[in-house]
Structure 1
Amino acid sequence: MSDPTPLIPPGPDTPACGPPTLDGGVWSVTRHADVCAVLTDPDFRVPEAAPGPPNTLAWLRGTVARFSGPDRHPARRAAAVAALADCPPDGLRRDAARLTAEELDRDPLAGSARLARGVPVRVLAARLGLADPAAAVPAVAVVAAAYQPGAAPAAVRRADWAVATLVAISPAGPPEALANRIGLLVQACDATAALIGAAARYAPAVPPSVPTAALLAEVLRLDPPVRATRRIAARPARVGGQAVPSGAELVLRFDAANRDPAAVTAPDRFAPGRSVLTFGAGAHGCPGERHALALATGVVDVLRERRAGPATRPESGPARTRPAVSR
C-alpha cells in the first residue's frame, strides 16, 4: 500500500546538512544538533538593536525582548509573557475560527492570504486590549515590513508613523510593556501569515484525519516561515567541531536543521510528530509559540472545513522565496 502523505522537497536555497562552514565572514550552521547547541548556549547572543527616540521603529526594536542582550532580556521577555497571560490559546483559536468564518460568510472568495494576514493580528490585538483591533492590522503590517535591519528609509519612516499609531491605541503602561505588546503583534503578522499560507497550500494533499495542529507542526518543519536566525559568539567556542572566534556571526539554518537525516527519518516526507526548531530554543525561544499555533489553527480549521485551499496537490515544494532570516 502506498504512503498517502506527500513528499515536500526543500527549497533551492536550503543548504545541505553538514559541518559549519565559513562564507564571507559568516558561519552557516545547518545540522540539527549544532543549531540546538548554539540556541541553548548563553555565550551565543542575539545581535542587539540600538535604542531610538520614543515611539519610533528604532525605539521598538531597541526595547523588545527579541533584540535584547542578556542584561535586559529577562525583564523584557517577562513583559511579553505577562501580556500573553490574558490570551489563552484556546480562546485565541476560537476567536480566529469565528472571525475567519465571518469573513468567509461576508466574502466567500476571500483569499487565504488576506485571512492569514488580517485575522491573527486582529484577534491578538483585541485580546491584548488595543482600542481599535481593525486599525492595528495595517499598522502592524507596515511595522513588520521594516522590522528587520536594512529596510529602506521610506519604509522606516512609514514604520515610525505606524509604531506611534499602535502606541496611541494600546493600553497605557511603561515603555517595555508597550513595546513588547506591539512586538507580539509584529510576530503574529508575517510569520503566522506565512505558516497559514503554507498550510493552506499543503492541506489538500494531507489526509483529512490529520488534525490541523499536527498539519501546522509539520509545515513548520518542512516550510518554516522563519528559515534562519542569527547569533554572535561572545567568546571563542567550538561548534560542530569547528573553532569559532569571539565576535563571529553565525546564521542558524532552521530550514536545513529541520530536515537533518540524523534527527529525522525520511526528512522530506510529511509525517507529523517530528522535532521542530522553528520557534527557537533556549533563553530566546519564542514565548508565544502556543499562541501563534492557536491563531493559525483557528484560521486553517475553517479553511479546511470549507475546502477554501488550493484544489491541487502541491508538487513544487516550499515557496521559492529568499530565506527569511530573523535577527
Structure 2
Amino acid sequence: MTVEIPPAPDTPPCGPPTFASDGGWTVTRHADVRAVLLDPACRVPVAGGGPPGTLAGLRGLVSRFSDTDRHPARRALGVAALAPLDPDDLRHEAARETSAALDRAGGRVDVTGALARRVPLRVLAARLGLADPDAAVPAVAAVAAAWHPGADRTRVVAADRAVEVLSTMAPAGTPEERANRLGLLVQACDATAGLIGSAVRHGLALPPAVSTADLLAEVLRLDPPVRGTRRVVTAATRVAGRDLAVGDPVLLRFDAANRDPVVVADPDRLRPGRPDGTLTFGAGPRGCPGTRLASALAAGVVSVLRSRCRLVHDPGDHEPHPLLRVPRRIDLAVHGPRSGDGPQTGRTVEVLR
C-alpha cells in the first residue's frame, strides 16, 4: 500500500543552491545539504549567553548553540546523560502512558495536546532524573516556544520563568551539565511531537503488517518535524560550484533534500521500509545524539494509537513556525480495548516492532 504525500506548499524545489540578498543561501539537494553539514567552514550561529536561570543563559551553555571549540565537550555532556537510557524501556513506558491516557480520554483525544506534547517529555524527563516530570512538561514547552532566535518578548519572559523552574528540578552538576541535560528535553519537545502527529496523520490507516519503526522512518523523510537548519559561512567555501563568502547565511532544507529524486525513487510516495536516507536528524559532528531514543519514544505512542484509535478530525494545519512542523490538532476516536485488557496487551507487543 502506497500513498502520495505532496510537499508542503512552502517547501522549495530540490535544485542547485540559490542566493537571495535578503536571506542568503538556500540549499535543497541531498548531496549539497550533507556537504554543508560536514563542511567546517559552515558553522552553527552561536548564542551569546546570559544570566544563570534565564533562556539566554541556557542557550549560551548548550552544545546546540556553542562555537566549534566548546561544542565537543558540551555535546559529550549530553551524550553522557543519554547513555544510561534504554530505547526499549522508553518505548514501552511511552506505550504504557499512552494507553493510560486513552483509558481516561472518554472516547476522543487530541493527539497533539494530550499525547504528543506530553507523553514523550514526561517519560524523558523522568529518565533524565528531573525531580518533577509532570511539572517539567509545561516548563519545557515554554522554553521550546522561545528556543529559536526571533521569539517575541512575551514568550521569552515565559521561557525565563520556565528555565528557573527547570533549574530547580535538574539533578546536581556543573552549570554546563545541568544546561545540556535540560537542552536535551527542549530539543526533543517539538521534534518528537511533530513526528508523532505526522505519523498519525499519514499512517494511522496503514495495515498492521507495516511496522511502526518503518512508518516513522518514512514520515521523517516525507514530512519531517524539523524542516531545516541554519549555518553561517566562516571561511570561503564552495558548494555545488557556488562560491559562498564569509558571513553568508545558509539555510539547509531537509524537507526538500529528503525528496531528492537522485537519492529517492518516487520521492512523494509514502513507502515504509525504504533504505534510510533522511537528513532530518542532521549529520556529522552536529547530528542529533538522541536519534534512537526520540524514535523509540515516538514509536511507543504511535504504536498504541494505531491499535486503539481511528481518525475523526484533522484540520491539516500546523503550529506557526518557519522551520518546525507540528500539527496543531488531530482528533482521534478511541475504539480499542482498555490497557488492562488481555487482547490489547498482545496487540501492543505486536506493533512495537
Query: Under a length normalisation based on structure 2, what TM-score does the superposition of the two structures give?
Result: 0.87
Q: How does 1:1-327 map to 2 (within 5 A)?
A: 4-23=1-20, 24-107=22-105, 108-113=107-112, 114-272=114-272, 273-274=274-275, 275-306=277-308, 308-310=309-311, 323-324=322-323
What CA deviation, in whole Å up to 9, does each residue of 1:121-142 have, x standing for no partner? 0000000011110000010111
Tell me, yes or no, if the aligned pair for 2:225 and 2:324 is still in contact at 8 Å.
no
Shift of 1:263: 0.8
SS for the counterpart of 1:310 is strand
- Following superposition, the deviation at residue 320 of structure 1 comes to 9.3
Q: Deviation digits for residues 25-45 of structure 1, max 9, x if unmatched?
A: 410000000000000112211
RMSD (Å), alpha carbons: 1.8
| Other structure's SS at 2:266 match | coil
Letter in 2 for 1:256: A
Q: Secondary structure at the match of 1:63?
A: coil
Q: Which has the higher contact order (CA 8 A, sep 6+)?
A: 1
Provide Cα deviations, 1:39-73, integer angstroms capped at 9, x if missing partner. Answer: 01122110000011001100111111111111000
Letter matched to residue 46 of structure 1: V
Report sequence identity in percent. 61
Q: Take 1:116 and 1:42, find their aligned partners in 2: how far apart are those partners? A: 35
**Structure 1, unpaired ranges of 5+:** none
Taking structure 1 as the reference length, the TM-score comes to: 0.94
Change beyond 3 A, Cα 1:297–1:169: same
- Structure 2: which 5+ runs fail to align? 326-353
Instruction: Detail structure 1 runs of 4+ shifted over 6 Å in the superposition.
Output: none
3-state SS in 2 of match to 1:27: strand
SS at match of 1:28: strand
Q: Distance in 1 between matches of 2:145 and 2:167?
A: 18
Q: Quote the offset at 1:246 in angstroms.
A: 1.3
